[in-house]
Amino acid sequence: MPLFHDDAISKLKDDHDKVEAIFKQLKDATPAQTRKLGVQVANLIKIHMALEEEYLYPALRKVPEGEDDKLTEGLVEHDTGKLLINDVLSPKTDKDSFAAKLQVLGEQMTHHHKEEEERGGVFAQARKSDLDLVAMLKKMAAREKDLKAELKDGDLPISEMNFAEPAKSEA
Ligand SMILES: [Fe+2]
Ligand SMILES: [Fe+2]
């Protein structure tokens, strides 16, 4: 299978750009478009986070270039994103706050992407290491294909948190 990207990092950066482009479109969207784009971007982020959490982050934990603090911070940011994503994708979501939730998600994602892409961020750490990022891209491409097929058949499973525990209701 020909690979469109040079390596796992260029693929992940490309995902960031796609996500940011949708959030830009959402700024002037009608309610019907907001619904459609919102679900689309939430699933895109969900798949992107799964690829990072299954391949990039664990690989970086094992090499000297990977900084534990940065990796943990990144995963905590994923959790805050997932709380909103799970809400946006829930059939029980409050329709009045849907657009606002997406806006906050967009702001959080922009911040998170900046941190991953900045000097010394996890992407730079990966590029500095001797991790095989082409092999990683191949694994990501295969996994992404499976996740997209799963999505076509229905919903992806609810995103699991890395650290956050959803508050338990007393009732
Ligand atoms: Fe991330
Ligand atoms: Fe990312």
In a domain, 1, yes or no: no
Q: In terms of residue numbers, what domain contains 98?
A: 8-152
Mean pLDDT of the region 124-146:
97
Domains in the chain: how many in total? 1
- For residue 1, the CA-to-ligand 2 centroid distance in Å is 24
CB 10 within 8 A of CB 124: no
Task: Confirm whether 96 is domain-assigned.
Answer: yes
If pLDDT is split at 50, 70 and 90, which confidence band does 67 have? very high
68 pLDDT band (50/70/90 cuts)? very high
Residue 166 lies in a domain: no
Nearest partner of 146 among 82, 56, 52, 50, judged by Cα: 50
The pLDDT score that the predictor gives to residue 91 is: 86
pLDDT number for residue 34? 94
Provide the residue count of the chain: 171
Angstrom distance (rounded) from CA 99 to CA 101: 5
Residues 76-100: what's their mean pLDDT?
Answer: 92
Cα of 28 vs centre of ligand 2, distance in Å, is 25
Residue 75 lies in a domain: yes
**Is pTM, for the whole model, over 0.95?**
no
- For ligand 2, the distance from its centroid to the CA atom of residue 33, given in whole angstroms, is 24
Query: Is 169 contained in some domain?
Result: no
